[in-house]
Amino acid sequence: MIIRKFTGLLLAPLAVTAWLSAASAEDAKSVKDFPLAERIAAKVKSGEPLDIYVSYHDVSNEFAPQIKAGVERGGTTDKANAHFIGPVGADADKQISELESLMSKMDGLAISSVSTDALSPVIDRIIAAGIPVVAFNTDNPASKRLVFAGQDLVQSGREAGKLMVKTLGGKGKVIITTIDAAAQWSIDREKGAREGLGEAKGIEIVQTVNTGTDPQAIYAAIENAMLANPDVTGILSLECCSTPAAGTWVERSNKVGQVKVVGFDLLDQTVELVQKGAIDATIDQAPEKQGFAAVDLLVKFLKGEPINTVDTGVGIYDKSNIDEVAKK
C-alpha cells in the first residue's frame, strides 16, 4: 500500500512525502529453488565477498550518480564488491555486450534495461548460467528476472495524473511532455498519467509532446506547444528533464498560477522552480534507494534469505515541503 496523504494542493499545500517499501503479490524467491552456479555457491560458502554487478541503462544521465551512491552504500552495508556498470547513453547493444563480457565474473546481476525486449534474452541467458538476476529502476517483466526493486512506472504516472487533476480542480486542458515518447518507461508512465487524468471528466488531454533530450530542444518544444494551444492550463511532464523546462517556460511567460506544472524528480532547477511556485508538484523516485535495494536484494538472496519485489514508492513534493530537499 502506498500512503497517499496530500490535500488542498490548490489552496493550502500540505507537506506530503509518501515512501513505502512494500512486498508485492508475487511469491517470494529463494535460492533453494534457483539452480545457482557451482562457483557462486562455493564463494558464498567460503564467505568471500560477492561480486555484484549493477547495470544501469545510462550511466551518463542525471540519476546515475545517485544510483551509484546507493550501489556503493549497498556494497559497504552488505560487505560485497558492488560494481556499477552500464552504457554511456541508452544503448541496448552496448549494455548487452558489456553484460556478455562480464558474465563469467558476476555472482549476481541487478539490471535496469535500456529496452525490455532487447535485454530479456541476455537476462534469461545469465539466469540459465546459474547467476541470479533482479531488475531495478526499470522492470523487465518479459524476462525471467527474480524480482524488481523500484517505482511502479504506471502507478507513478497515475499518481502524477491524479495530482494534476487535483491541482487543476478537475477541469482544464493538459499537454503531456516527454523526452522520449517511444521509450518503455515513457510509454508506461504515459499510460498511467492518462488513466489518472481520465478520472476527471473535465480534463482534456490535448497532445503528447516529444521534446527530444537536448535541453534547448526541450524548451523549444514546450514553447511551441504552448503557443499552439494557448488555452492549455496544465503541463504534465513524465520525467526529470522536461519538468524544469516547463517550469522555466511558465516563469518566463508570467503564467505562474495560470498554467500548472506537475512533473518528476528533484533536479536542482526543479527544486528551485517548486520553491518559486512555477512548478506545482514533483514526484521523486528515490534513485539512491533503488541502487541500494539492487545490491541488498541480491546479497540477501545469495545468503539464503527469501526476497520479494520492492516498491520504492513515490515521494510527492510541493511548495509546502520542498525546503526539506533544498536544505540537503
Residues engaged in binding other proteins (CB under 8 A): 58-62, 64-65, 88-89, 179, 181-182, 206-210, 213-216, 219-221, 223-225, 227-230, 241, 244-245, 248, 252, 267-269, 272
Question: How near is the Cβ of 244 to other proteins at its closest, in Å?
Answer: 7
Residue 317 beta carbon to other proteins: minimum distance, rounded to whole angstroms: 17
Given the complex with other proteins, which of 232 and 298 has the nearer CB atom?
A: 232
Considering the complex, state which of residue 58 and residue 296 has its C-beta at the smaller distance from other proteins.
Answer: 58
The least distance separating other proteins from the CB of residue 88, rounded to whole angstroms, comes to 7
By beta-carbon proximity to other proteins, the closer residue of 58 and 78 is: 58
Which of residues 278 and 310 has its CB atom nearest to other proteins in the complex? 278
119 contacts: CB under 8 Å, gap ≥ 6: 92, 95, 96, 111, 113, 140, 143
DSSP alpha helix (H) spans, the chain: 38-46, 64-77, 92-102, 116-128, 153-167, 184-198, 215-228, 242-252, 268-276, 287-302, 323-326
Which one, 301 or 317, has the nearer CB to other proteins?
317
Please state the closest distance from residue 15 (CB atom) to other proteins, in A: 21
Cβ nearer to other proteins, comparing 185 with 301: 185
- In the chain, the N- to C-terminal Cα span, in Å, equals 28
Q: How far is the CB of 220 from other proteins (least distance, A)?
A: 4
> From residue 70, how far is each of 74, 215, 293 by CA, in Å?
6, 27, 8
- Smallest separation, CB 132 to other proteins (Å): 28
C-alpha grid cell, residue 218:
526541450
Shortest Å, Cβ 62 to other proteins: 5
109/221 with CB nearer other proteins: 221
Three-class secondary structure of residue 31 per DSSP: helix
What is the radius of gyration, based on Cα positions, of the chain?
21
* Cα dihedral 163→169→172→177 (10° resolution): -10
Nearest-approach distance from CB 76 to other proteins, in angstroms: 19
**CB closer to other proteins out of 71 and 134:** 71
Cell numbers describing residue 301? 538472496
Instruction: Give the C-alpha separation, 67 to 53, whole Å.
Output: 13
> How many other C-beta atoms lie within 10 A of the C-beta of residue 88?
11
- Structure-block grid coordinates of residue 321: 515541503
In terms of Cβ atoms closer than 10 Å to its own Cβ (0-12, 13-18, 19+), residue 138 is buried
